[in-house]
Each structure stands twice: as C-alpha cells, then as structure tokens.
Structure 1
Amino acid sequence: MTDTLSLPSLVIFDCDGVLVDSEPISLGVLTRGLNGIGLALDVETVRARYAGTSMVSIMERVATEDGIQPPDGFAERVKAETLRAFEAELSAMAGIAQALAELALPFCVASSSDPVRLRRSLGLTGLLPLFDGRIFSSAEVARGKPFPDLFLHAAARMGQDPSACLVIEDSVPGVQAARAAGMRVAGFTGGGHWGHDRAGQDLMAAGAARVFTAHADLGRIISGS
C-alpha cells in the first residue's frame, strides 16, 4: 500500500479522542482506579501506556507487566464510573458534526471501546444517528489495536478493500493497527488529552501519513491536498 493522493472509498473513524473528547475523562477515571489498586502512575503515563487500547488489554498488561492482579469487578467499576462522568462532561469534538455532514464518502467508526460505552458516547454527543448501523467495536474481533483485526473487520463489513480505506486515529496503537491492516492513516491531535508537543511526532513515527488538529481540515486531509 502506498499513501497516494487518490480519494479513499471508505473513511474509518476512531471514536475516543477523534469523534468525542472523551480521553481526558476516561484516562482520569482509569488513573484513579489504578492508583487505588497500588499502581502509582500519573495521567500522562497512563495515556502513553494505554490510550487507544481496550480495557481487556489494559487489565492483561497490568497483570503481566506490573504484577498486579486487578480485583474482581475492577474493570466493570471503572467502566461504570467512566459512563457516569460522560453523562456530566462528554462533548463531541469541535467541528466533527459539520465535517461529517459535508463528507461525501462512506464512513464508519471502529473503536477499542466496548459496545455499550461506544454507543453511549455517540448518543450523548448527538453523533449516533450519523453512524447507526456502521459502528464496530473491538469486542467483535479476537485482537484489539495495535493488531489490524478491528479495521479489517470494519472494511469487510462495509464491503471495501483495506487498501482503499483511510483511518482517522489519535493513538499510536490505532495508527499501528491501521498500517498493519494495509490502510492509509491520518493522525488527529485535536483532543484534550494531547497536551504535549510530541503528539504529532509520535503519530507520524507510528506510520501516520499526515497529522491535523481541527476537523475543519478533514476534507483537505481526505483529498491529500
């Protein structure tokens, strides 16, 4: 696959940090939860280690890499607290609704979030009607990001060849997954969790062809101009 200037036949959006500005909320909840079971990490470290990956992957890494076995029900409690925080704080990413309304290509969402959180996030922000019937979760595949399974699944369900797809991602594992799937990928750094100056560099190093910070530029990014 090459990063040509030809228009994609399908645009695949990640959700958290791309469509909705959820990462500052969810990373804060996760950090507090991990601190509570003895893992002394700050939010930035949690972002660097876990952003863009599923809760299943996070729990596996905490057990294998840190030697801490999360107590029964820990993941469920973190998920529930995250959803409660979303009810009060979650917002759509600035400009995304208009950008989607102007998008003349097929598009879908493929996210590491579980189906309940994914649909709730889109519903709370008014984006659900734009994606209904075209929503894909890592719960539907054997392996989450950075493996390519989710993006390949989304492309197959949408009837598109992977090489003709463009992925919009905000995390290094997501970019790696898209590239492993043989897809073009653009990195988005407009989310509230990207507070450091290496954000674009990290995504480019992972394989993003270009990086942008505002959804007003989505059309330009898609056209390759």
Structure 2
Amino acid sequence: MTSQSIPPPPIRAALFDMDGLLIDSEDIYTDITNTILQRYRRPKLPWSIKAQLQGRPGPQAGQIFHSWAQLPITQEEFFAEQTILQRQLFPNTQPLPGVLDLLKGLKENGVHMALATSSHAGNFSLKSSHLPHVFDYFAEDHKVLGDDPRIPHGRGKPAPDIYLLALKMLNATLAEKGEPAIRPEECLVFEDSVPGVESGRRAGMQVVWCPHPELLNEYKGREKEVLAGLTGEHKDNEEEELRHIEVEVLQGRRRVGLPGELDDGWGTLIESLAEFPYTKFGI
C-alpha cells in the first residue's frame, strides 16, 4: 500500500524544528557568516549554498560551507571567529510571526509537543534562554538537540532519527500516564529547511514546510519534491537503514526511512505560521 492510498490521520503531536522556524536565528547565522566572509573579501553567502546548510548538524554544514567558501583560514580559525559573533548575537533572537499563537493554540487543543533541533546544547542555550515564553511549551524531556548522544554519529537531518527520538520521548511520557502511544503518522513536523522536511517524511510523519521567502524562491518549481522529501538530500543505504524500523500504519504497513510521494497529501506548504490551518489537520 502506497502513502498515496493512505489518507493522513488527524494529528496528536507536533514536532518542531527551531532555527528559522520558531526563532529568527537563521537570519543571524547569515549575518555572522557574511561578516566573516567580508573580512576575507569573499562574496556573500548565496541561498543556493545556504539552502544546503539549513537543518543539518554543524559538522556536515561546515563541510559544505568550507568547500564553497575557500577561505584563507582553517576551519578551526573560522569556527573561533564565528563563536565570538554567535555569543554576541544569539541572545538577541526573537520568535517569528505566529509562533506564540500557534504554540498556545496547539496546547489548548491537547496536541502534544516536542522540539527536535540540530542545534547543539551550547548554542541552544544562547538562542533560547531569554525566551522562556516560547520554550516553556516544551518539557525538558521533550527537547531533543543535535548533540543528543542517542542520535548515532552521521544520523542528523535529513535522516529521520531525531524526529523518531522526539516521538519516543513523547510516548514515554504518555506510557507513564497510561495513555495510548502516538504513531508516526499522527505526528506533524514543522520545518523551514529542505533537509528537515525530508527528515520528517522519512520518519513517516506529516510535514508542514514554512520556508524563508528566499529559500522558497530557490526551490521554485520543485515545491512538490520538497514536500515529498524527494530532493535527494539523504544519501545513506536505505535498505540497511530500514531493516529494523518497520511500523504499523492504518490498515497497511509503511516503512519508516522512505520518503513520500508527489501529491500524497502528507506535506503542506505555508508561508507563515500565522496562517496555520488547524482544521486541515483534524484540530
């Protein structure tokens, strides 16, 4: 049974990316990068490259960036300059339009929520500690960060592991309360990045893609591919990945790890979280 023949069920859980989705940190990342590039008379970071960096763990993003930038300094020297600027600017992050109303609305409607961000603990603290009115919506056990030791090395987004782990933590809490577990297909992943969308689709979940306008322009004409997770960001051996993570879905079976299909109804594009269509997802 293909995903096209399985209508998406009402959601019970919402799993959120952070950078560029909940807070404006992606624009700060761009400003920091361009500041350093300018120091060494290099061109500004184009969206064709930034699109490949978004949503990925730091080491993977770093390899892509430095291969393009060709800076006359080592990666370690770049990282040191970057860290200084991040410590100065990340405490200035602010929630993006619609975020607070959406989080409040989901909570009031009984939707369980978790955070799944590629940011490591240090940067996460810099970006979030001054925003308790945003991040208090997520219980500590339901915050999964990019350096979580339970995520195998090399298995960051676009692999599905981080979203599957976030769901596992939600279900652990529900089990303690004697409540039924949430299935992957009952989860709605909120993402701004293309690798993040693929991560959510490979987790067997529904996905809302809310991209930066420049990113959306970069993928003009390929929106359906992005929503299906078919942009080819994930390069691992799928059969090896799928051997032990098969899950029940409705009347058929759907294997976690595979992307979706064009127009299968499991991916939705919105331009702002302020425009979130609750009823579309059974809320």
TM-score bracket, normalised by the shorter chain, equals 0.7 to 0.9
C-alpha distance in 2, partners of 1:154/1:96? 20
TM-score (norm 2): 0.67
Cα distance change, pair 37–138 in 1 and its aligned pair in 2 (3 A): farther
C-alpha distance in 2, partners of 1:99/1:207? 21
Contact 1:175 1:187 in 2 (8 A): yes
Choose which of 180, 191, 209 in structure 1 pairs with 2:202: 180
* Structure 2 residue identity aligned to 1:197: N
1:10 equivalent in alignment to 2:13: yes
| Correspondence for 2:163 | 151
Choose which of 211, 216, 220 in structure 1 pairs with 2:269: 211
C-alpha distance in 1, partners of 2:24/2:282? 25
Q: Which has the higher relative contact order, 1 or 2, with Cα contacts under 8 A spaced 6 or more apart?
A: 1
Contact 1:53 1:145 in 2 (8 A): yes
Q: CA RMSD in A?
A: 2.9
1:123 equivalent in alignment to 2:129: yes
C-alpha distance in 1, partners of 2:79/2:14? 31
Contact 1:10 1:166 in 2 (8 A): yes
Contact 2:49 2:65 in 1 (8 A): no
| Correspondence for 2:184 | 162
SS at match of 1:84: helix
| Higher deviation after alignment, 120-129 or 143-152 | 120-129
Q: Percent identity?
A: 22
* Structure 2 residue identity aligned to 1:220: Y
Structure 1: 4+ residue segments shifted above 4 A = 34-41, 62-69, 198-203
TM-score (norm 1): 0.82
| Correspondence for 1:107 | 113
1:186 is displaced (CA, Å) by 1.0
Cα-to-partner distance string for 1:42-93 (whole Å, 9 max, x where unaligned):
34244223122122112233466777783325324423412311234x2101
C-alpha distance in 1, partners of 2:280/2:147? 28
Aligned residues: 222
Structure showing greater radius of gyration is 2
| Correspondence for 2:144 | 136
1:28 is displaced (CA, Å) by 2.0
1:145 is displaced (CA, Å) by 1.0
Contact 1:31 1:46 in 2 (8 A): no
C-alpha distance in 2, partners of 1:128/1:145? 21
Cα distance change, pair 144–116 in 1 and its aligned pair in 2 (3 A): same
C-alpha distance in 2, partners of 1:215/1:221? 14
C-alpha distance in 1, partners of 2:104/2:187? 19
